[in-house]
Amino acid sequence: MAPLMKQARMRRTITGFSNPTVKYLRSLREKKHRKREGKFLAEGLRLLTDAREGGRLPEMLVMSAARDPHPLLEALENAVEDAGGEIVETPPEILSKITGKDNPQAVAGVFCEFDTSIDKIDRSRAPIWLVAQALRDPGNLGTMLRTGDAVGAGGLILIDDCADPFSVEAVRASMGAIFTQQIAQASWEEFLPWLRSGAGQLVAASLRDARPYRQAPYVAPCFILVGNESRGLPEEYEMACDLRVTMPMRGRADSLNAAIAGAVLAYEVLATLEA
pLDDT by residue, tens only, the chain of 275 residues:
344 444 444 789 999 999 999 999 999 999 999 999 999 999 999 999 999 999 999 999 999 998 888 999 999 999 999 999 999 999 999 999 998 877 777 899 999 999 999 999 999 999 999 999 999 999 999 999 999 999 999 999 999 999 999 999 999 999 999 999 999 999 999 999 999 999 999 999 887 888 999 999 999 999 999 999 888 899 999 999 999 999 887 887 767 789 999 999 999 999 999 98
* pLDDT for the residue numbered 3: 43
Decide: residue 3, CB within 10 A, 0-12 exposed, 13-18 middle, 19+ buried: exposed
User: With b meaning 16 or more CB within 10 Å and e meaning fewer, what string describes 30-56?
Assistant: eeeebeeeebbbbbbbebbbbbbeeeb
> Where do the DSSP E strands lie in 106-169?
107-112, 128-133, 155-159
* pLDDT for the residue numbered 84: 92
**What residues have CB less than 8 Å from 39, skipping those under 6 apart?**
28, 59, 110, 111, 112, 113
* pLDDT for the residue numbered 209: 84
Identify whether the C-beta of residue 176 lies closer than 8 Å to the C-beta of residue 143: no
Specify which residues 62 forms β-bridges with.
88, 108
Specify which residues 211 forms β-bridges with.
245
C-alpha span between 223 and 203 (Å, rounded): 6
Domain residue limits, the chain: 2-112, 118-274
Pick the CATH number of 118-274 from 3.40.1280.10, 3.30.830.10, 3.40.50.970, 3.80.10.10: 3.40.1280.10
Longest dimension (CA), the chain: 73
- Strand 128-133 relative to strand 222-226, pairing: parallel
In the three-class reduction of DSSP (H, G, I as helix; E, B as strand; rest coil), residue 49 is classed as helix
C-alpha span between 161 and 164 (Å, rounded): 9
* pLDDT for the residue numbered 4: 40
* pLDDT for the residue numbered 194: 98
What are 48-94's pLDDT values in tens digits? 999 999 999 999 999 999 888 899 999 999 999 999 999 999 999 99
C-alpha span between 8 and 195 (Å, rounded): 50
What are 93-119's pLDDT values in tens digits? 999 999 887 777 789 999 999 999 999
Are 2-112 and 118-274 equal in CATH topology?
no
C-alpha span between 48 and 42 (Å, rounded): 7
According to CATH, the topology of domain 2-112 is: 60s Ribosomal Protein L30; Chain: A; (3.30.1330)
Cα torsion through 228, 234, 236, 237, rounded to 10: 10
C-alpha span between 254 and 190 (Å, rounded): 31
**What residues have CB less than 8 Å from 115, skipping those under 6 apart?**
none
